[in-house]
Amino acid sequence: MCCFGKSWMLPAILAAAATVLVGSHSPRLDEYKSGIVWPEPPVVQPGDATTPPSDAIVLFDGKDLSAFENGDKWLIENGYAQVRNGGITSKQAFGDCQLHLEFATPSKVVGDGQGRGNSGVYLMGKYEVQILDSYNNPTYFDGQCAAIYKQQPPTVNACRAPGEWQTYDIIFEAPRFDAAGKLTKPAYLTVIHNGVVVQNHFELPGGTSWDQPPHYEPHVEKLPLHIQDHGNPMRFRNIWIRENIQPLVGKKPE
Ligand code: MG
């Protein structure tokens, strides 16, 4: 009797062995390369829990709010800024960006719903990521913390308790308009709240307004950032922004 058992098994075994041998010994002569000539990605020294990356524009490092109009009105102490006497608007204008900021809602809980720990960060002064104390504080879902205001609730509620420091890492793609003012690309927002993705490349149907449905009004490619005073003593620290978020563009092969 054949050592391979039934004789019809032999060809199958030889074929399998040949496949393994060829597969494991053949050199890779056909590695895929796109041929695209890429510019070298710039070197950036990354930050850590308390420092920004080396290419960030620091808007608030705990000392002063001179990067903002009306910043001199806010109370600054112990490395944070507390809302007082109106919102603040960055002196510099921004379009596409990565924004980092930290905030704390008041430790002493006062009010409820939209009246409790309310502020907001307005990209380009028009597109609000809501800031609210949504820790055991029900309100309309597209108005709770980390909502795109009145457009999209956060995927989950990742709020920390009142008084605790929280982080927002926001990636914003500004809308584009042609010369006639027609929208050619909508705005997109990605929001990471305390390390949790709560908005994932959300396409905005327009500006976030309290009293109007969202719609676009044409504007330039860069506008100032605004942080809202909604009457609550909210605290902020470590605000920085990076503009270099566009994909590198390479040269395609001829
Ligand atoms: Mg708000």
Per residue in 181-227, pLDDT (tens digit) is 999 999 999 999 999 999 999 999 999 999 999 999 999 999 999 99
Indicate whether 202 belongs to any domain: yes
C-alpha 132 to ligand 1 mean position (Å): 7
C-alpha 228 to ligand 1 mean position (Å): 7
Give me the domain span that covers residue 227.
Answer: 57-242
Q: pLDDT: is 159 or 8 the higher one?
A: 159
Indicate whether 82 belongs to any domain: yes
C-alpha 49 to ligand 1 mean position (Å): 26
C-alpha 131 to ligand 1 mean position (Å): 6
Q: What is the mean pLDDT of residues 91-119?
A: 97
C-alpha 129 to ligand 1 mean position (Å): 8
Indicate whether 124 belongs to any domain: yes
Indicate whether 222 belongs to any domain: yes
Rounded CA-CA distance 115/109 in Å is 10
C-alpha 106 to ligand 1 mean position (Å): 15
C-alpha 169 to ligand 1 mean position (Å): 17
- Closest C-alpha among 137, 111, 135, 51 to residue 231: 111
pLDDT digits (tens, 9 = 90+) for 110-144: 999 999 999 999 999 999 999 999 999 999 999 99
Q: Sorting pLDDT into bands at 50, 70 and 90, what band is 229?
A: very high
Tell me: pLDDT of 180 over 50: yes
Q: Sorting pLDDT into bands at 50, 70 and 90, what band is 254?
A: confident
Q: 248 with 34: CB under 8 angstroms?
A: no
CA distances from 34 to 37, 92, 136, 167, 252 (A): 9, 39, 52, 39, 8
Domain CATH number, residue 168: 2.60.120.560
Predicted TM-score (pTM) above 0.85: yes
C-alpha 184 to ligand 1 mean position (Å): 28
Indicate whether 121 belongs to any domain: yes
C-alpha 156 to ligand 1 mean position (Å): 18
Indicate whether 183 belongs to any domain: yes
Residues 6+ apart with CB under 8 A from 151: 142, 202, 204, 205, 208, 214
Strand partners, 183: 177
**pLDDT of the residue at 21:** 47
C-alpha 118 to ligand 1 mean position (Å): 5
Rounded CA-CA distance 97/79 in Å is 24
C-alpha 120 to ligand 1 mean position (Å): 4
Strand partners, 58: 240
Indicate whether 39 belongs to any domain: no
Mean pLDDT of the chain: 92
C-alpha 149 to ligand 1 mean position (Å): 8
Q: Looking at the 3D structure of the chain, how many domains does it have?
A: 1
